[in-house]
Amino acid sequence: SNKMQRVFFKIFAPPVFSGDEDKTRAAAILNTIGWSSLLIVLGILIARTIQANDVNLTEVNWILAATILAIAAVLVLGHRGYVKAGSYLFVLILWSALSYIAWAADGIRDIAFFGYTIPILIAALLIGWQGAAVLTFASVVAGWAFAYAETLQLFAPTLDTPLNFARDMTGVFILMGILIYLMITTLQSSLS
């Protein structure tokens, strides 16, 4: 039981890099966001699979599964010391997955479009304001592209049921809450 606890702790605990406080702090944030995102996306995937009433069920489920595997890879990178690379990869993966889901589903009306706030906040936390600015710009461009594509009738939105919308939005709000908490505690610790 003691050995199981050590293995469990080793998997979930953030890595510590002696002598590098910034890297350790970034790794802790990446670890928290990584595990939170992984578990929330897994929860949404399981709920979608059980309900099985989504118009874009299979396509979006494959993207969610791929995203879970990609986040796991990012967590491994962070633990191995590649915190910066892991951070860039994480933000890129999340933004790309959200873009694909929005395109496959309801475009600018999809929860994935609202979800763009998550990689923007993560970029602000882990990469800096430049990363957040680039993603903000990319998200605005994507929004206009979705709107334009729908205007040209390149795709027709298939609006989600209210309960599915609420389920997915719950995941977005929980992640945003965690990110805001991390931002505040990071600011407080750097002030003190």
Q: What's residue 79's pLDDT?
A: 94
Render pLDDT for 123-132 as a digit per residue (tens, 0 to 9): 999 999 999 9
Question: What gap in Å lies between CA 101 and CA 162, rounded to an integer?
Answer: 18
Render pLDDT for 55-109 as a digit per residue (tens, 0 to 9): 778 888 999 999 999 999 999 999 999 999 999 999 999 999 999 999 888 889 8
Report which residue type is found at 64.
L
Torsion of CA 131, 108, 166, 12, to 10 degrees: -20
**Residue 147: pLDDT band with limits 50, 70, 90:** very high
Question: What gap in Å lies between CA 158 and CA 9, rounded to an integer?
Answer: 43
Closest C-alpha among 72, 60, 75 to residue 30: 75
Q: With 80 as the cut, is the pLDDT of residue 158 above it?
A: no
Q: 60 φ, ψ to 5°?
A: -70, -40
For range 40-59, the mean pLDDT: 87
Question: What gap in Å lies between CA 77 and CA 71, rounded to an integer?
Answer: 10
